[in-house]
């Protein structure tokens, strides 16, 4: 029995000796096996892509089921609406709007306020956290609106659900805000790619619209998420293009382009007007003092009334757009349908329905292009160019006008039509429409809600260097746990005793930053007696400090970083709301900036 302890001691000694002699080599092996940050992001992006493809599948199944239950029909909404009686066209959107409004009214009240649910806001001015229960409530509401003929697109639901699911996974893993924001962008890329079977457009949308950054360490995950989402979606729905384009015209003469320059001019004007009309529509419904579900029922009633004469206004406009591309409408009817669809979309979105306007915008572009081409043909002008060519170019140019992104519009139209022959006139029209729209309205369909909240949306920079490629949000961490402005002196003292920070942020009931308590400022109270019981954080805090916002460039944040006394500088969502969303380590940020702006030494000789 005595030999066992001796033998175990010998084995243990040999193991210790082995690790002592080879520990450096083992460390090197561990470093080689450890995944890099870029690899982790790619793996996460692939997972988000799978989520996007599955969300797209579940969406289609839910819509088909709800259409069967509510309308007793299957197929495209235009075909369903044309097969129904006039009173059914009137009733279905009204009841659907009422049901969707009740879901929002009761559901959002039940889950409570849990931060912003705007996808772009949590990336531009937040920490990448999207509330999951809010997304589910809005998804149910959106499904009710869409399945009963609401004039909204499906891409909004798919994109938001995918981004929210990705954000929730990151929140459960307790990841830093910079990674959560990337996951949200990957979700947006996957959602667009799956909804439109357009992987390139999905990646470009997330990079340009959501992140505002095309750096490769960010763009690569977006590409992978888009590709995976597209392949998952294609495994269920195939690879057929969404819009069948009969045109096979060849553009070989410069004289063909002026017509599309003119079309781009009209598209830019339409895009800017559409955005202004959306604002006025929302303002009009906001003046209705009745509850949300009444407003949404009213919006559905207007859509139903329009559908009694133009059943093609039902849905996102996909079916009607295909009919325009196949030249199945007369000029007079198309003009009436164009106005009717525009009004139906304004009523649906303005009343508060949850959904996207991407596809309705494509319809408006197709309608504008079709009207333009048919008018030219009626005047015996440009008769060699088919109406479908003008309609398809109109789709891209109006989309470019509403997003201020000609690259996204060109790629999107190419991917949904698979027609490369129209790229020259499409490029010209998109460029012209973007310039015209930006001149008439500096905001886009995505940045307008942020502007109304006082958030900065301009993320372009003409300065070179690594510092301009990174924002405060890229380095942002969780905020220093704040004090309530009503916190007692003893609570403040306990926090300082258990925290390494010399400064603690102070927030009000709305979590807005109202001040800062410094450890140094508490010295004058140390000799006080019972009167300390009446001292609260509001009494001892300093005025609100200079803060940063997540979308602020690091180089622009340099003055605040240099003058701040804090190790962790507060980050707020906007200068207007001042909600505390994070903190940035002063030493880390200054280190990044010093590496970016310090002159690099070059070998002499």
Q: Which of 283-292, 521-530, 578-587 has the lowest mean pLDDT?
A: 521-530
With a CB cutoff of 8 Å and minimum separation 6, the contacts of 529 are none
- Average pLDDT over all residues of the chain: 85
Provide the pLDDT for residue 295: 95
Task: Name the helix (H) or strand (E) containing 584.
Answer: strand 580-585
Give yes or no for a contact between 62 and 144, defined as CB atoms under 8 angstroms apart: no
Burial of 586: CB neighbours in 10 Å, binned 0-12, 13-18, 19+: middle
| 525-547 residue pLDDT tens | 766 666 677 788 888 888 887 78
Identify the band that residue 156 occupies on the pLDDT scale cut at 50, 70 and 90: confident
* Lowest-pLDDT choice from 81-90, 232-241, 463-472, 492-501: 463-472
Contact predicate 158/56, CB 8 Å: yes
Provide the residue count of the chain.
605
Place of tokens 């879901």: 103
- The pLDDT value recorded for residue 488 is 86
More confident residue, 255 or 96: 96
Distance from C-alpha of 448 to C-alpha of 451, rounded to nearest angstrom: 5
| 471-597: CATH superfamily | CBS-domain (3.10.580.10)
3-state secondary structure (DSSP) of residue 336: helix
pLDDT of residue 465: 42
Domains 37-237 and 254-452 alike in fold = yes
| CA end-to-end span of the chain | 75
In the predicted model, is pLDDT for residue 393 greater than 50?
A: yes
Q: Map residue 514 onto helix, strand or coil.
A: strand
- Can you tell me the distance from the alpha carbon of 21 to that of 56, in angstroms, rounded to the nearest whole number? 55
Of 242 and 363, the one with more pLDDT: 363
Q: Which residue has the higher pLDDT, 574 or 188?
A: 188
pLDDT at 196: 92
* HSE, side-chain direction, 13 A CA sphere, residue 497: 6
Q: What's the pLDDT score for residue 251? A: 78
pLDDT of 598 higher than 60: no
Q: Render pLDDT for 231-261 as a digit per residue (tens, 0 to 9).
A: 999 999 888 777 877 656 677 788 889 999 9
Least confident segment among 73-77, 318-322, 353-357: 73-77
Contact present, 255 and 75 (Cβ < 8 Å) = no
Whose CA is closest to 337, among 358, 355, 352, 323? 323
Q: What's the fold here for domain 254-452?
A: Clc chloride channel (1.10.3080)
Average pLDDT of the residues in 226-233? 96
Give the orientation angle of helix 358-378 with respect to helix 155-172, to 10 degrees. Answer: 150
**Would you say the pTM of this structure is higher than 0.95?**
no
Residue pair 296/98 in contact by the 8 Å Cβ criterion: yes
Superfamily holding 37-237: Clc chloride channel (1.10.3080.10)
Reduce the DSSP state of residue 582 to 3 states and report it: strand
Beta strands of 453-541 (E only): which ranges?
Answer: 483-484, 503-507, 513-518
Q: pLDDT tens across 35-67, in order?
A: 777 888 899 999 999 999 999 999 999 998 998
Place of tokens 């912003």: 116
The pLDDT score that the predictor gives to residue 548 is: 87
- Residue 518 has a CB neighbour count (10 Å cut-off) of 18
Q: What CA–CA distance (Å, rounded) separates 436 from 390?
A: 18
Q: What is the per-residue pLDDT for 523? A: 73
Percent of the chain with pLDDT over 90: 43
Domain ranges of the chain: 37-237, 254-452, 471-597
Q: Average pLDDT in the 422-427 region?
A: 91
Predicted local distance difference test score (pLDDT) of residue 113: 65
């Amino acid at each position: 029995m005595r030999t066992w302890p001796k033998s175990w001691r010998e084995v243990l000694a040999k193991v210790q000796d082995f690790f002592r002699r080879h520990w450096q080599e083992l460390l090197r092996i561990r470093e080689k096996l450890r995944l890099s940050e870029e690899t982790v992001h790619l793996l996460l992006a692939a997972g988000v892509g799978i989520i996007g493809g599955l969300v797209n599948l579940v969406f289609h199944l839910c819509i088909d089921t709800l259409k069967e239950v509510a309308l007793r029909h299957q197929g495209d909404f235009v075909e369903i609406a044309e097969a129904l009686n006039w009173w059914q066209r009137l009733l279905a959107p009204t009841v659907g709007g009422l049901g969707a409004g009740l879901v929002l009214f009761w559901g959002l009240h039940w889950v409570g306020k849990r931060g912003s649910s705007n996808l772009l806001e949590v990336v531009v001015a937040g920490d990448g956290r999207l509330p999951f229960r809010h997304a589910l409530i809005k998804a149910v509401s959106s499904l009710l609106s869409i399945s009963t003929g609401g004039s909204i697109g499906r891409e909004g639901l798919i994109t938001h659900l995918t981004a929210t699911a990705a954000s929730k996974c990151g929140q459960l893993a307790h990841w830093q805000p910079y990674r959560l924001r990337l996951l949200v962008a990957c979700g947006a890329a996957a959602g667009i790619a799956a909804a439109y079977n357009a992987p390139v457009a999905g990646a470009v949308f997330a990079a340009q619209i959501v992140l505002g950054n095309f750096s490769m360490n960010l763009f690569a995950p977006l590409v992978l998420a888009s590709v995976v989402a597209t392949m998952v979606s294609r495994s269920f729905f195939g690879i057929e293009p969404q819009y069948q384009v009969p045109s096979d015209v060849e553009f070989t003469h410069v004289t063909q382009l002026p017509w599309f320059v003119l079309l781009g001019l009209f598209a830019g004007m339409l895009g800017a007007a559409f955005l202004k009309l959306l604002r006025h529509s929302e303002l009009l419904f906001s003046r209705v003092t009745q509850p949300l579900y009444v407003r949404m029922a009213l919006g559905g009633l207007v859509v139903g009334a329009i559908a009694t004469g133009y059943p093609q206004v039902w849905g996102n406009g996909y079916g009607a757009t295909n009919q325009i591309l196949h030249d199945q409408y007369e000029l007079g009817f198309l003009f009436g349908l164009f106005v009717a669809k525009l009004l139906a979309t304004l009523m649906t979105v303005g009343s508060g329905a949850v959904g996207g306007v991407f596809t309705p915008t494509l319809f408006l572009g197709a309608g504008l292009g079709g009207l333009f081409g048919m008018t030219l043909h009626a005047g015996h002008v440009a008769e060699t160019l088919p109406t479908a060519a003008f309609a398809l170019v109109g789709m891209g140019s109006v989309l470019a006008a509403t997003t201020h992104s000609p690259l996204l519009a060109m790629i999107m139209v190419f991917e949904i039509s698979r027609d490369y022959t129209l790229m020259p006139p499409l490029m010209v029209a998109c460029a012209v429409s973007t310039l015209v729209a930006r001149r008439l309205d500096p905001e886009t369909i995505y940045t307008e809600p942020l502007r109304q909240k006082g958030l900065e949306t301009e993320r372009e920079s003409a300065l070179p260097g690594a510092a301009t490629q990174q924002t405060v949000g890229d380095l942002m961490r969780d905020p220093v746990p704040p004090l309530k402005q009503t916190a007692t002196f003893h609570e403040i003292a306990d926090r300082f005793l258990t925290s390494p920070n010399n400064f603690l942020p102070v927030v009000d009931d709305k979590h807005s930053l109202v001040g800062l308590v410094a450890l140094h400022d508490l010295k004058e109270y140390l000799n006080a007696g019972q009167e300390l019981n009446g001292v609260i954080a509001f009494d001892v805090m300093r005025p609100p400090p200079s803060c940063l916002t997540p979308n602020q460039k690091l180089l622009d944040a340099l003055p605040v970083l240099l003058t701040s006394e804090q190790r962790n500088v507060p980050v707020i969502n906007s200068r207007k709301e001042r909600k505390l969303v994070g903190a940035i380590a002063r030493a880390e940020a200054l280190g990044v900036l010093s590496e970016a702006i310090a002159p690099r030494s070059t070998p002499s000789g």
